[in-house]
Structure 1
Amino acid sequence: MPTALSVNVNAIAFLRNRRDLPWPSVEGLGRVALEAGAQGLTVHPRPDQRHIRFSDLPVLRKLIDAEYPNAEFNIEGFPTRQFLDLCLESRPEQVTLVPDDPSQATSDHGWDFRRHQEFLAEVVRELKDSGIRVSLFADGNGDVDAMKLAKKTGADRIELYTGPYGGRYGDPGSAAKILDLLGATADSAHALGLGVNAGHDLTVSNLSPLISRIPYLDEVSIGHELTADALVHGMAETVRRFRRACGQKVA
């Protein structure tokens, strides 16, 4: 199966929040992305609501349920009680747990599975008891033992943090070395029966090599570059470009 594309709409929400106005519309552009064939939408509701607002969640849930029932809603964030309650209310198909401090500008590292295994196992159990698939943000550093610990939490998938890979856009040799580590991490997770997602600083140009190395990649979540490309190509065409990079057939 081709890799699924989930469009992260945080950057759209961040732009909207610069003014006390309802545009650009997170719902409207989410609809355009889904109509263009994206397989889902991703949000990261932070405690300060600096981009996605808590009030956006039921709107996007309704959009998917009413108009695109085959699409998925993915909510990512640090599992505070407030975050977990939002997830349980919104009933996403997937929750991606990230080890972010609330003050961080963006996600920049995976979980320390040795330190947080028991904590994560409790959170994973609660979400899965509600029928929600759980993915854990993970560093792509080739640590096989870390993947074994991730598996023991009961999670369904990991999401490879691809920021270091995307950040080497001007250094192909360094990017290739990081890609090898991402691939080794993914291979370990896959062998253990974990699904593998990926996200952070992925582009049309670096996505294809990633999928070539990890052909069983379940899903990519892409926001910043996809939103930037949409300023040039429009949202619908940008989604189609990323879908092609995911190996999907696009009319």
Structure 2
Amino acid sequence: MTLLSVNLNAVAQLRNRRDVPWPSVTGIARLVLDAGASGITVHPRPDERHIRRTDVFEISELMAAEYPRAEFNIEGYPSEDFFTLVDAVHAHQITLVPDTPEQATSDHGWDFRGQGNFLADAVRRLKQTDRRVSLFCDPDAGAAGAAAAKATGADRVELYTGPYGGCFDDPERAQRELALLAETAQAAAAIGLGVNAGHDLTLANLPAFQTAVPGVAEASIGHGITADALRMGFPEAVRQYRAILEE
């Protein structure tokens, strides 16, 4: 069974279009957790264009007080500001991504071999407290990339599923992307790395992903589930994503 972590960046971005407190990020967090989501994901960026630092603190407090069994996953680039933020709240999982500040969204995984020492230092620092560390991983990382990720001391990799998600109009390319994801996931699992996944997963493409890439521990889904929630509401969207992930 794959757990669902709902990424709230898109909700925060909608709120930030106006100088008003709605939609409430913590309110939506409560909705999706009540509907059965296993966790919440946020990816605060330096310019706070969606998730703000205050959101991170408020979500952490909400989950500790009302949802102690749910998982809080914080994504970000391992800068000093990021370390300061995640050290000030209670997060169960930290997912490191190689984003530059100007990127609109995550669009590639780590160069595990070229940046191995940098990542090992970051992982070591984060694991001084009891937190799981996951590293954003290209779909074609394969066995060599998985081994290099493992060498950093990380607990998991998160498969970047964006290239697969972009194949909605090209079934043949989608099959090729699924094969790459499956190979990397199998290589990671074989050496004891847990496997997460995320980016552009939707109700339409998730079933094929689940069939081709079994054993994924957690899927972080934000844009797709928010788009579906505009039609059906967040609780129903959570139920439909869970139905696929838990088959």
Report TM bin, short chain.
Answer: over 0.9
Match of 2:68 in 1: 69
2:146 counterpart of 1:147: yes
Within 5 A, what are the aligned runs for 1:1-251? 2-247=1-246
CA RMSD of aligned residues (A): 0.8
Once the two structures are overlaid, the 10-residue window that deviates more, 211-220 or 95-104, is: 211-220
2:204 counterpart SS class: helix
CA distance in 2, matches of 1:103, 1:179: 29
1:196 counterpart SS class: strand
CA distance in 1, matches of 2:47, 2:94: 19
Letter in structure 2 aligned against 1:137: F
Residue 134 of structure 2 contacts residue 157 of structure 2 at CA under 8 Å; is this kept in 1?
Answer: yes
CA distance in 2, matches of 1:146, 1:110: 10
| Aligned-pair identity (%) | 56
Report the CA distance between 1:214 and its aligned residue: 2.1
Q: TM-score, normalised by structure 2?
A: 0.98
1:115 counterpart SS class: coil
CA distance in 1, matches of 2:142, 2:181: 10
Aligned residues: 247
CA distance in 1, matches of 2:174, 2:3: 23
Q: TM-score, normalised by structure 1?
A: 0.97
Once the two structures are overlaid, the 10-residue window that deviates more, 203-212 or 214-223, is: 203-212
Letter in structure 1 aligned against 2:146: M
Report the CA distance between 1:209 and its aligned residue: 1.5
CA distance in 1, matches of 2:221, 2:236: 15
Report the CA distance between 1:64 and its aligned residue: 0.8
Q: Runs of at least 4 residues of structure 1 off by over 4 A?
A: none
CA distance in 2, matches of 1:53, 1:37: 25
CA distance in 1, matches of 2:183, 2:142: 8
CA distance in 2, matches of 1:88, 1:206: 36
CA distance in 1, matches of 2:152, 2:33: 32
Q: CA-to-partner distance for each residue in 1:54-109, whole Å, 9 max, x for gaps?
A: 00111101111111111000000100000011111112000000000000000000
Once the two structures are overlaid, the 10-residue window that deviates more, 180-189 or 204-213, is: 204-213
CA distance in 2, matches of 1:17, 1:129: 34
Q: CA-to-partner distance for each residue in 1:148-202, whole Å, 9 max, x for gaps?
A: 0100000000000000000001111110110000000000000010000000000
1:160 counterpart SS class: strand
Residue 71 of structure 2 contacts residue 93 of structure 2 at CA under 8 Å; is this kept in 1?
Answer: yes
CA distance in 1, matches of 2:106, 2:221: 13
Once the two structures are overlaid, the 10-residue window that deviates more, 93-102 or 202-211, is: 202-211
Report the CA distance between 1:142 and its aligned residue: 4.7
